[in-house]
Amino acid sequence: MADEPFVHPRRDPIKSSVGNVAAQRRRQHAITVAKGRREAVVRTKRLCRAGVSGEADDPVTDGSDMMIDAEQSILEDQTCAAVEELKLSMSYQGKGAVQKRVAALRELRRLLSRSEFPPIEAAIKAGAIPLLVQCLSFGSPEEQLLEAAWCMTNIATGKPEETKALLPALPLLIAHLGEKSSLPVAEQCAWAVGNVAGEGEDLRNILLSQGALPPLARMMLPNKGSTVRTAAWALSNLIKGPDPKAATELIRIAGVVEAILRHLRKADEELATEVAWVVVYLSALSNVATSMLVKIDLLQILVERLGASNSLQLLIPVLRSIGNLVAGDDRIASTVLVTGQQITDFVIPALTKCLKSEHRILKKEAAWVMSNIAAGSVEHKKLVYSSEAVPLLLRLLATAPFDIRKEVAYVLGNLCVSPSEGSGRPHLIADHLVSLVSQGCLPGFIDLVRSADIEAARLGLQFIELVLRGIPNGEGVKLVEKEDGIDAMERFQFHENEELRCMATELVDKYFGEDYGVED
């Protein structure tokens, strides 16, 4: 139900790298905001089983979230009956009318919370939405508001058309985010709004046009634990693009920057995780936000969190935030990551810790961040090159799954070149290149050339070119031949990709032409 990945061309070329491919690649990586970013961490939509008031729903009777068809059918029948009971309670005006409505709402809410696949369609077809909207009207008792918002929260976890059925309720849900509502009601409405925002760009735009952003932002300002956590999660769904306007608007709201800093510095890991996801989208989408976040020393706090935490849920958005900030502008990395400063001394060990993790996604994210640092100034390259990360990177290049090997290759490749003037070839850092090749990295790059991944193959060919022209005394030519690099390059002789075909052909002709080996 989340959006497809997108590329919003907001940044100038980000980094120099092996060849000229890195700019577009880093731009795309920095601002792709899709469901995959939260994969195995947090669902874009969240079913509410334990409400913000602390009350928990009845557990599924068999102890699991799976229901057989007969049980699902019974649940749907019960839901239709609950909606009819709610309808009757709404028309009842006698003694105990409020208690009757609340009881009917509570029963509907429990039914919408009991299964991994709630009977949302049955509730909508039975006419639940207009009744719930009516129950959200201002002046209603708090318990009634809370139960109605809870029902809507779980309806919003449904299919796209089911979530869109809540359109008539959105103005009231947003209105109850305000300061006149009790905290439990405001938080439950924030949860519902977050689920709606998680459905996609169209519904996010509707929520934004109806004014959902400012009251959600204000909910994040106090130190209110659960309320702040829910508001931050809803905000991360609301601002995640592709239009950067919402992210820029959020960072400009008074108190937001200070709240982000405070929560990331002092909050527990669960709250810090949600705030870190807000930072991910702010730093990916808004130049204004990136500039403001760097000025408040946020990078220092993120690096400290990275080094101190072992929570996968927190480490992933922290890593991505650091990567976005460093990838955003050469000046940022040069200003913040200065050799000899405390933050600089911490960042590479913290990233190395993640590279050592058993979690595949952490390794990949850490390598991506490190590749952006390694693509910076010569001082940054030396910082990475002289660290304990290099032996680990060399091992990962040889043994890790393909997606990690590709990220690692960018780190190692970036260590061997420095930015060139204009669009020419990057300058070699000969001692880095010679050392890394002598430690056995060349076969890993040649393996990338043999892959079906065009980006990886291009990176492999670019590194082969560095070896051929950069290893002294013509030894690079012999090394490439020894590792079957000629065969790897010749596979592009009739390749459909013209860039790779020309690159490989030129290298083979230049270094292994008809005169190659004659003197021997």
- Digit-coded pLDDT (tens) for 410-445: 999 999 998 766 556 778 899 999 999 999 999 999
pLDDT at 67: 56
If pLDDT is split at 50, 70 and 90, which confidence band does 205 have? very high
Question: How many C-beta atoms surround the C-beta of residue 286 within 10 A?
Answer: 25
What percentage of residues in the chain have a pLDDT greater than 70?
Answer: 83
Q: What pairs with residue 418 in β-bridges?
A: 427
Give the type of residue at 45.
Answer: K
How confident is the model over 448-456, as a mean pLDDT?
94
- Tell me the residue length of the chain: 520
User: What is the 3 state secondary structure string of 276-322?
Assistant: HHHHHHHHHHCHHHHHHHHHCCHHHHHHHHHHHCCCHHHHHHHHHHH
What is the crossing angle of helices 402-415 and 389-399, to 10°? 140
> Would you call 62 helix, strand, or coil by DSSP?
coil
258-289 pLDDT tens trace: 999 999 999 899 999 999 999 999 999 998 99
> Which token pair is 254?
């008074």
Q: Which residue has the tokens 């992933």?
A: 316
How confident is the model over 185-201, as a mean pLDDT?
96
Give, in order, the Cα–Cα distances in Å from 409 to each of 33, 150, 310, 456, 499: 24, 48, 26, 9, 20
Inform me whether the pLDDT recorded for 292 exceeds 70: yes
Contact 263, 271 (CB under 8 A): yes
Q: Which residue has the tokens 């305000």?
A: 178
- What are the residues whose beta carbons fall under 8 Å from the beta carbon of 202, sequence distance 6 or more? none
Question: How many C-beta atoms surround the C-beta of residue 186 within 10 A?
Answer: 26
Question: How many C-beta atoms surround the C-beta of residue 345 within 10 A?
Answer: 12
4-49 pLDDT tens trace: 322 222 222 223 345 444 434 444 544 443 333 333 234 478 888 7
DSSP 329-364: -HHHHHHHS-TTSHHHHHHHHHHHHHHTSS-HHHHH
CA distance 216 to 520: 74
Contact 375, 15 (CB under 8 A): yes
**Distance in Å from the first CA to the final CA of the chain:** 63
What percentage of residues in the chain have a pLDDT greater than 90?
Answer: 65
Torsional class of 255: left (φ above 0), alpha (ψ -120 to 50), beta (otherwise): left
Contact 451, 493 (CB under 8 A): no
Inform me whether the pLDDT recorded for 192 exceeds 90: yes
Backbone φ, ψ for residue 376 (5° rounding): -90, -135
Question: How many C-beta atoms surround the C-beta of residue 416 within 10 A?
Answer: 27
The DSSP letter of residue 168 is G
State the pTM of this model. Answer: 0.85
As a whole number of angstroms, the longest Cα–Cα distance in the chain is 107
> Which token pair is 331?
């000046």
347-400 pLDDT tens trace: 899 999 999 999 999 999 999 999 988 888 888 899 899 999 999 999 999 999
